[in-house]
Every structure is written in C-alpha cells, then in structure tokens.
C-alpha cells in the first residue's frame, strides 16, 4: 500500500469511502509525521492529534453505518492559527493572544468539520497575517522543507503569511490546510513550497471567526497538493453566512465535478505590465512555459493591459494597514489575551504596556502606518486616494475580462528566499506581493499552481486570476497547467 | 422670535444654541448583534461575542433599528437617504471593546428635516418656531464603567455596548434656554409618538450634547463650546444659561472663548472644561469594511411611512379644527402620546354612550381628562388603583353627568369610589345615593318654599340686586340636599323671579 501521507484530499476521501483504509489510520499517519517533523519545521503552533483521531473515528463510524462520510470525510487537515477553534488556542501567532482559547468555532472551520475533516493542529503563520516569510510569528520562523541545490543547509522562508500551511502541506504533515489571503498570503507561500492554493472571490468564504487583518481584503482558501484537492476543499469551506455582512449570498458551485482541463474557446490574458525590468530569468521562463501549456490546452493567448498595476502595491500598503490599525484596537488587555499592568499603571499605561509587549515589530509598523494614513489632515491624501486607486484597479480588471477569460501571471517575483534575507528590509519584503496584490484589491479569485523548478531546484508558481465568481475558470486553467507541467518534485526529507 | 438677551457690562448678547440629542432606539436587540437591550439587567448579562469584540466577530445590521431611525426621519419631514454607510470612529476606552464606535459620519441615514416648536404652552398657535434638523445618524452606544465596585479597580458593564442610538443633530437655530427646552420636549414627544425611543431621560434613553455660543445681535457666530451628556430638559436650560453667561464674562473680561468640550455638574448647575480642541481625539473615521453600504428599497420605505401614527402637530390641528377644542386643550392633550390615546379612547366611548358626535362631547371629555380626573387621582394618591380606571367606567360617569343624572361633584365622588373599588359607576350612584334629581315638581316645591321664606330678598332682587340669584340657588340646593339638577333649579328660579 502507498504511504498514506503521500495521499491527497481526493485519494484519502475516496480511499476511506471505499474502505481501502480507515480514517483513523490516515489520522495516525499524519499525526506521526507532525510529531516527527515539527521541531525542525515549526509549522504547527499547537498539535491536536486527539482532535484528528476523534474526527476520524466519527467518519469511520458513519461509514460503518452506511452513511456518507462527507465531502472531506476522513481527511485530516491543518488549520491556520487565524481561525477561531473552540477550546483550542487561537493566537494569530501573536503574544497578545497567547493562551486565548475561544468559546466559538469559525464558520469556515466548522464547515470543514461538518464535511468530515479533522484537525491535526493550529498552523504557524506571520503574526496577524502580516508578513511574506513567516518570520513575524511570535512562535518562531517556519522553515521551508525545500532547500536550494548547492545552497548549503540555509533555511528558506516558506512564504507568508500562510507559511505554516505551505510548509506542512509540502512536507506531507497534512494533505491540505486552510490559508487566508489578504494580499497574497495563500498564493505566495504555495508558490514557495510547490503546492497549490486558491483565494476565492471576496465573500465566498465567511470571515466570521477569522481574526481580522484587513476586513475588505481578507479571504480564506484551501492550500493542497493539487487543483482537484483545492476544488474539493473550497466547496466545503465556501457558502453564504448571515453572520458576515460581506458574505456572498450565492450557491456554492460544484467545482470538483465541473473540473475540465480543456481550454478550447478560452482566452488567456497576459498582462504586459507584469513584465518588469530585471525580472528573474527563471520566472520569465516559467511564465512562458505556462503560455505554451495553456495554448496546448486549446486556449487563445491575448495580450492585455492592466495600466494601474504599479499603483496597486502602494495603495494596498495604505488600505490594509488602515483597516488593521482599527481591527487590532480590540487587543487592549481589558477582556482577553495578554494584560500588562505595571505597578501604579492607569488605563492608558495598561494599553501601552500590553500592546508594546503583545505585538511584534511588523504588526506595530503596520498599526503606525495605518494610524498615520487615517489621521486628520492625511486621510484624503492617503486613504481616499488609495481607495480611488483601488477602484481604478477594479476597472482595469473589468476591462481586461472583456477581452479574456482568465489572466496568467507569475505568483511571486522570485522563488523562496533565505530566512533573514529580507527581514530587515520591509520594502523588499512587501515587493514580494507585487503580482498577488492587484487581484486582492479587486476581490477576484486567484490561484497559484506549481510550474516547475528554478535553477536552484526550488519550486516556482504560476498565478491564474479569474473574473469575480469564476473560480471554475481559474481551477480549470490551473488543472490544464498542472497536467502539462507534470510537477512531481517534492522536498528531499532532511528533518 | 426670541428676544432673550444676556445683559453684559458692555451691552446685550445673543445666545446661539444647537443640540445633538442621542436617543436610544426601541428595539429588542442591539444595532449589530442579537443581544438584548432591556434596561436594568445584571451587569454583562446582555453581551454577545460581537459586543465584547472577541477576535473574528463581525457586525450584522439590525433591520428594526434602521427602520426606527427611518420612521423618525419621516416624522420630522426629513430627507431619507436610500444609500448610507457606516463609519468607524476610533478611540481607546475601556467601555469601548472594539476600540471603535460604528457610527455614520460621511453618509448618514437621514438628512435635512425640521421640527416646529411652541414657545408658549398656553398659546400653542401664538408663538411657534421651526428648528432645522441637519441629520440623524445611527450608531452604537458604549458600555459603562463602574468605579464603585472595588477599592483599586474599575469594572466594565457591557450591557449597553452596541445598543442602537440615533444622533439627532439640530441646526444652530435656537436663541434661548426656553427654545432649547421646548425643542427637547417636542423632540421627545415626536420620538414617543413614533415609538422609536422611549424618551426616558432618567434612564439615559435621551441625552443631549449642548452647543452654545454668544454674539452681538446681528453679528457672525461666536466660538462654541459643547457640553456633553446633559440628561434632562431642566439641565439643558441650566447649561445654556450658565454657559452663555460664562462666555459673556470671558469676552467682557478681555478673554476669548475656547472651543472645547465641557461637562455639566447638576449639583452646582455649572459647566466645567473636559478637554480643549488641542486635546481633542483624532477619531480617524473611515468606512467600516465589515459592513456593506446600507441600501433601502422603496417597499421598505413605504412600509416605514405606512407604519407612522398621526403625529402630534397633525393631531393638535385636528383637535382644534374638527373637535373644536381650545388651542390650549389641544396642546395639552397631544403633548404625551399616552394622554392623546386615553383621550381618543374615552372620546369614542363617550360619543357612543351618549349617542352624540365626538365633536359634541369633545370638550366634556377634554376637561375630564385634563383636569377633573387627574385631580381625583392625585388626591387619592396610593389609594387609587389605576387598573380600575377603565375607559368604560369613565365614559359611564360622563354619560350620567351629560344626562343630568349626576352633578359634577357627584361625578368626582363616584369616580373616587370607582378608582378605589372598581365598582360599576351606575351601581355606585344608586347605592350611595349619588344622584341629582331633575324632578321638576320636587324642585319647584323647594323653590316656592325658599321664595316664600325670603320675601325681603325677593323684593331686593326685583329691585335690581341681581347678585341675590346665587343666594336663591344655594338655598334651593340646600333644601334638596345638593341633589337637584342645577340647570333645572336655575330655570325655575328665573321663571318665578320674572
């Protein structure tokens, strides 16, 4: 029998359903991998092997009674620590929430449990989802399971903010994991670790119970080994939630059943503004490969323009911090989480001490930026202007989708970089999301699929951006690339 | 127009007043959460995860709160904005769990409207003034800090956190404490008619931020101060009196008024500085990204409009025009929605019982409701069981009086017994002998006796001493033990005295 931890979501689901193995066997296998690897990779903040077993037993019992085990029946997954999980510590990788165990379960995680998934643990991430390398976590860096050929044993960043998710899936600690994407936090780490991840249309997945970073951008999505697995898991995660006013009141399409790699009659747009001077040659090459593969799948390739692309990143770094500065005001030491109360402290002192001790440097930086851009006298120059840019970016995409069905672009400007490489240079770090941010600003579905390895043997991702609500088009193009890229590489086990 | 002036050492000053009234919306649950809103619950018994701002919680607008604010806007003839939006007002305080209040700065739900105020309650038609309303927006209330529960710590009660408020912002159109008082009273009346706020100022359901400035008559506005959270009509008027005088003193002493936020001290009737403009919070307002813009459709607006009751001004005009009541009575009857409701119920019962039109009995019912009944109830105090104060019982008493079966005095006595015991008025009249006689024969005999016993006075009356008529009435009533119908007595006396 194949090693169970080599199996993906569909294979596990189908194998459990047909009785090839039990859900408990699967859960035990992944629990063992988590236990063996976590010291080296630091992908999980908290492991919950008992939760995985408990859910698996329930699935096995259902199957024994002849009941359907669910869309995700028997699939153990990792849960990004941004999702509130009832009775299990939920920290957003921040000291300020250390020890906080909510009395409620996020809508998305609840849907996954209802679909038969089990929880292997809470995944490490950039603190409050702010970062692109998983180096801002209070619980330490996550290490990318991939290593550069000839690069010694230098630890690489797994991407961020869903770095625990990407590392855990790539290292076979879980067949799939939840991620959240505010400005690339699913796609960029997926690209850095040779896995697949999709951010759906804004509003597809309820934000209820997800620790908020930037409310108008935050969106949950699956990270898994391939397109089909993402389709399955996204179906389980998505759906209208009356508890989230921005949730889309639309039925969840049968994405998995409608998967098709046939691109005949589809037009794929190549945005000329994404071709930048001094672009990494391997990135350019993989992009060209993607064009070849999609053409081979029957698609027509069209040149398109997204003229305001260069303003997307600066506008994002106004809007996201502005919302964050307000969203994070609730962490004040009054009701839950960390409280620092120096001798003789008054309320203001308590706020200052708690927030100084509780938030990491990157979180503080963004709170400061956000507070600044919303201040009287600066609001119009920054926030209002950024919102106008955001509107223009949406118009760019609207115009583009009059000419094409999906857009193909690189996911990130480089492969995984070494831990510590950019941690002292926030602007260099922010630039990592240059290709990812525009789709976030427009609320569009976008995914990253593995496209191959670069000269150092590190994975590269290709990004597919679709029109609003057209996750199917995105997934289908992803599948077409996946079938032609033949990406089977996986990180050499060193941990 | 008000001619209220502050007499300063250097001449006359005019006061300019604008009010921001915070009115708690009547609804079962809070503005953005399902938690209950009842007053007086145990601390933190009515707090949802949203109200406590737990991580990942999201606001969902409560349709009923929006509906109430729209209905209020319609009641003041205001522009209803079909597209509005919620903004976050950011500041840190322990009673504000989110670290921001969800409010509406840029695009409020309700735009310009107006309220007509009456400056002389005795003469509602005589002196009226229209106060402009700039806007009404909806927002969340904060929680409450309790400083008296522990020697060194403050406690937080979040029951009020997230309760819906309407902020009703007037134009700076008022010019005297009396006008401001009349405005708050009228606004309260309208809110209570609409049912969008219970208007209970003691419980904090209505509080006013009072903006005051002074100027020489005819000159541009002066610098204003804002006195926060004033919670009674009297205190609003005191705040203005004190604050206007203080500003005049400052200016006349060569100083300048500082734009600042002040607090009213009810114990001294004075205001004191809370924070100046320099220390003012920068609230960093921005659109709340957790909420979509609020878009109202025509059906919703039509339902809001159809659900509005007859409003106080319309009612007052109808009482005067259709029912023929005096302006004073119409004003008194419509000032409180409950009074008007009691009046209209009793009016209908009385008209039906007497087989007359409402107009024919309106004055009788109005006098009963406004002066006679309250007099009896007040005199009885706690002996009155108001459960016995049914419209049917009241109408029965009024009918007996209208038919001449009982006198005004007897009506009061019967009413008193009704309130104490709940017995039937007709049964009381019979059993207690509280009836007057209209038996012309008996009264005529008594009249004849009185005239026969007082020939000198008859002579004097006929000689021109008209005032003696009252003497004959009194003697006749005395002979009848007070139970004669006064109208019959009058008629017979007039007839016999020529």
Q: How much is the average pLDDT of A287-292?
A: 98
Range of weakest confidence among A361-375, A480-494, B58-72, B394-408: B394-408
* Contact call for A208 and B98, based on CB within 8 A: no
What residues pair up with A178 in beta bridges, in sequence order? Answer: A222
The pLDDT score that the predictor gives to residue B126 is 67
pLDDT digits (tens, 9 = 90+) for B361-372: 999 999 999 999
Q: Which parts of chain B have pLDDT scores under 50?
A: 1
pLDDT digits (tens, 9 = 90+) for B403-415: 888 888 889 999 9
* A341: nearest CA partner in chain B: B153
Query: What percentage of chain A reaches a pLDDT higher than 90?
Result: 96
What is the reported pTM? Answer: 0.91
* Contact call for A329 and B99, based on CB within 8 A: yes
* Contact call for B290 and A211, based on CB within 8 A: no
The pLDDT score that the predictor gives to residue B275 is 77
The ranges of chain B annotated as CATH 1.10.10.410 are 440-497
Among B49, B58, B99, beta carbon nearest to A326:
B99
* Contact call for B55 and A243, based on CB within 8 A: no
* Contact call for A329 and B98, based on CB within 8 A: yes
* B290: nearest CA partner in chain A: A215
Are A125 and A137 spatial neighbours (Cβ–Cβ below 8 Å)? yes
* B98: nearest CA partner in chain A: A330
* Contact call for B97 and A330, based on CB within 8 A: yes
pLDDT band (50, 70, 90) for residue A1: very low
Q: Tell me how close the Cα of B211 comes to any Cα of chain A, in angstroms.
A: 22
Residue B285: its chain A contacts at CB < 8 A? Answer: 374, 379
pLDDT at A283 over 70: yes
Q: Tell me how close the Cα of A479 comes to any Cα of chain B, in angstroms.
A: 33
Q: Give me the active site residues of A, please.
A: 80, 161, 185
3-state secondary structure chain B: CCCCCEEECCEEEEEEEEEEEEEECCCCECCCCCCECCCCCCCCCCCCCCCCCCCCCCCCCCHHHHHHHHHHHHHCCCCECCEECCEEEECCCCCCCCCEEEECCCCCCECCEEEEEECCCCCCCCCEEEEEEEEEEEEECCCEEECCCCCCCCEEECCCCCCEEEEEEECCCECCHHHHHHHHHHHHHHHHHHCCCCCCCCCCCEEEEEEEEEECCCCCCCCCEEEEEECCHHHHHHHHHHHHHHHHHHHHCCCCCCCEEEEEECCCCEEEEEEEHHHCCCCCCEECCCCCCEECCHHHHHHHHHCCCCCHHHHHHHHHHCCCCCHHHHHHHHHCHHHHHHHHHHHHHHHHHHCCCHHHHHHHHHHHHHHHHHHHHHHHHHHCCHHHCCHHHHHHHHHHHHCCCCCHHHHHHHHHHHHHHCCCHHHHHHHCCCCCECCHHHHHHHHHHHHHHCHHHHHHHHCCCCCHHHHHHHHHHHHCCCCECHHHHHHHHHHHHC
Enumerate residues 6+ apart whose C-beta is below 8 A from B217: B5, B12, B13, B14
Among A84, A322, A330, beta carbon nearest to B286:
A322
For chain A, what is the mean pLDDT?
97
Q: Tell me how close the Cα of A90 comes to any Cα of chain B, in angstroms.
A: 9
pLDDT at A165 over 80: yes
Domain ranges for chain A, please list them: 4-260
Among B60, B90, B289, beta carbon nearest to A215:
B289
B280 in contact with A, Cβ within 8 Å: no
Among B60, B92, B282, beta carbon nearest to A243:
B60
Angstrom distance (rounded) from CA A312 to CA A386: 9
Angstrom distance (rounded) from CA A182 to CA A211: 12
* A343: nearest CA partner in chain B: B152
pLDDT band (50, 70, 90) for residue A356: very high
SS3 A405: coil
Q: Please report the residues numbered 188 through 227 in chain B whose beta carbons come closer than 8 angstroms to any beta carbon of chain A.
A: none
* Contact call for A208 and B56, based on CB within 8 A: yes
* Contact call for A216 and B289, based on CB within 8 A: yes
For domain B440-497, give the fold.
Arc Repressor Mutant, subunit A (1.10.10)
Among B56, B154, B290, beta carbon nearest to A211:
B56
Residue A246: its chain B contacts at CB < 8 A? Answer: 289-292
ipTM of model = 0.96
Chosen for mutation from B56, B66, B88, B142 (greatest number of chain A CBs closer than 10 Å) is: B56
CATH number of A4-260: 3.90.1300.10
* Contact call for B55 and A102, based on CB within 8 A: yes
């Amino acid at each position: 029998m194949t090693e169970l931890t080599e199996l993906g979501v569909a294979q596990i689901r189908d194998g459990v359903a047909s009785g090839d193995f039990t859900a408990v066997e699967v859960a035990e296998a992944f629990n063992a991998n988590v236990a063996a690897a976590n010291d080296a990779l630091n992908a999980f903040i908290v492991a919950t092997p008992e939760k995985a077993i408990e859910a698996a037993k329930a699935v096995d019992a259902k199957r024994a009674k002849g009941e359907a085990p669910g869309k995700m029946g028997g699939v153990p997954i990792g849960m990004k620590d941004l999702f509130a999980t009832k009775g299990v510590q939920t920290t957003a990788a921040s000291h300020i929430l250390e020890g906080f165990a909510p009395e409620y379960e996020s809508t998305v995680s609840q849907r996954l449990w209802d679909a038969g998934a089990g929880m292997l643990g809470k995944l490490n991430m950039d603190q409050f989802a702010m970062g692109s390398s998983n180096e801002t976590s209070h619980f330490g860096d996550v290490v990318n399971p991939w290593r550069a050929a000839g690069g010694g044993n230098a630890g690489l960043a797994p991407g961020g903010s869903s770095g625990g998710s990407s590392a855990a899936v790539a290292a076979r600690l879980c067949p799939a994991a939840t991620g959240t994407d505010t400005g690339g936090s699913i796609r960029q780490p997926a690209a850095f670790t040779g896995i697949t991840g999709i951010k759906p249309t804004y509003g597809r997945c309820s934000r209820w119970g997800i620790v908020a970073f930037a409310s108008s951008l935050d969106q949950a999505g699956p990270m898994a080994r391939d397109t089909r697995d993402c389709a399955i898991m996204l179906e389980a995660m998505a759906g209208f939630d009356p508890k989230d006013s921005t949730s889309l009141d639309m039925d969840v399409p049968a994405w998995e059943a409608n998967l098709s790699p046939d691109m005949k009659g589809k037009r794929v747009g190549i945005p000329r503004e994404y071709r930048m001077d001094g672009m990494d040659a391997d990135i350019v090459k993989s992009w060209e490969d993607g064009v070849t593969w999609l053409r081979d799948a029957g698609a027509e390739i069209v040149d398109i323009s997204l003229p305001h692309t260069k303003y997307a990143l600066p506008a994002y770094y106004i809007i996201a911090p502005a919302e964050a500065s307000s969203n994070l005001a609730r962490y004040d030491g009054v009701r839950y989480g960390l409280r620092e109360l120096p001798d003789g402290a008054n309320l203001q002192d308590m706020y200052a001490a708690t927030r100084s001790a509780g938030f990491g440097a990157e979180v503080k930086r963004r709170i400061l930026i956000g507070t600044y851009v919303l201040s009287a006298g600066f609001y119009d120059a920054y926030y209002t202007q950024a919102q106008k840019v955001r509107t223009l970016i949406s118009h760019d995409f609207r115009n583009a989708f009059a000419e094409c069905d999906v857009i193909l672009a690189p996911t990130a400007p480089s492969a995984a970089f070494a831990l510590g490489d950019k941690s002292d240079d926030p602007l260099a770090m922010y630039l990592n999301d240059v290709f990812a941010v525009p789709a976030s600003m427009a609320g569009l579905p976008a995914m990253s699929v593995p496209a191959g390895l670069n000269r150092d043997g590190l994975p590269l991702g290709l990004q597919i951006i679709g029109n609003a609500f057209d996750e199917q088009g995105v997934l289908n193009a992803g599948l077409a690339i996946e079938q032609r890229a033949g990406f089977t590489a996986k990180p050499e086990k060193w941990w | 127009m008000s001619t209220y002036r502050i007499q300063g050492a250097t001449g006359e000053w005019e006061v300019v007043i604008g009010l921001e009234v915070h009115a708690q919306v009547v609804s079962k649950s809070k503005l953005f959460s399902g938690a209950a809103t009842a007053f007086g619950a145990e601390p933190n018994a009515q707090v949802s995860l949203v109200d406590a701002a737990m991580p990942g919680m999201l606001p969902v607008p409560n349709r009923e709160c929006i509906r109430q604010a729209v209905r209020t806007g319609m009641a003041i003839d205001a522009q209803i904005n079909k597209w509005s939006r919620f903004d976050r007002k950011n500041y840190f305080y322990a009673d504000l769990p989110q670290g921001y209040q969800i409010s509406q700065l840029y695009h409020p739900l309700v735009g310009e409207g107006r309220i007509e105020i009456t400056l002389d309650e005795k003469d509602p038609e005589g002196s009226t003034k229209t106060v402009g309303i700039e806007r009404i927006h909806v927002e969340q209330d904060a929680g409450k800090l309790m400083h008296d529960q522990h020697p060194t710590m403050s406690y937080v009660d979040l029951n009020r956190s997230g309760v819906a408020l309407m902020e009703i912002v007037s134009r700076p159109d008022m010019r005297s404490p009396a006008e401001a008082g009349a405005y708050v009273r009228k606004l309260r009346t309208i809110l209570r008619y609409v049912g969008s706020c219970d208007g209970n100022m003691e419980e904090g359901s209505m509080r006013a931020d009072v903006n005051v400035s002074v100027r020489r008559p005819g000159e541009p506005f002066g610098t204003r101060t804002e006195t926060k959270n004033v919670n009674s009509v009297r205190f609003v008027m005191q705040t203005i009196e004190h604050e206007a005088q203080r500003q005049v003193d400052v200016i006349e002493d060569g100083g300048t008024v500082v734009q600042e936020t002040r607090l009213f001290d009810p114990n001294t009737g004075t205001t004191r500085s809370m924070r100046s403009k320099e220390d003012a919070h920068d609230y960093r307002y921005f659109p709340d990204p957790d909420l979509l813009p609020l878009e109202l459709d025509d059906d919703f607006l039509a339902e809001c409009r159809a659900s509005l009751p007859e409003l106080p001004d319309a009612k007052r005009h109808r009482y005067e025009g259709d029912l023929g009541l005096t302006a004073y009575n119409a004003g008194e009857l419509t000032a409180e929605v409950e009074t008007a409701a009691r009046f209209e119920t009793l009016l209908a019962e009385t008209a039906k019982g007497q087989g007359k039109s409402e107009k024919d009995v309106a004055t009788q019912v109005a006098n009963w409701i406004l002066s006679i009944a309250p007099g009896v109830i007040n005199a009885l105090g706690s002996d009155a069981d108001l459960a016995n104060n049914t419209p049917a019982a009241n109408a029965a008493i009024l009918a007996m009086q209208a038919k001449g079966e009982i006198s005004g005095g007897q009506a009061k006595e019967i009413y008193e017994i009704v309130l104490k015991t709940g017995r039937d008025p007709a049964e009381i009249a019979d059993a207690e002998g509280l009836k007057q006689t209209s038996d012309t024969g008996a009264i005529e005999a008594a009249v004849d006796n009185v005239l026969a016993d007082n020939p000198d006075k008859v002579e004097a009356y006929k000689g021109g001493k008209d005032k003696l008529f009252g003497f004959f009435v009194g003697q006749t009533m005395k002979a009848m033990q007070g139970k004669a119908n006064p109208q019959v007595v009058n008629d017979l006396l007039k007839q016999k005295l020529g």
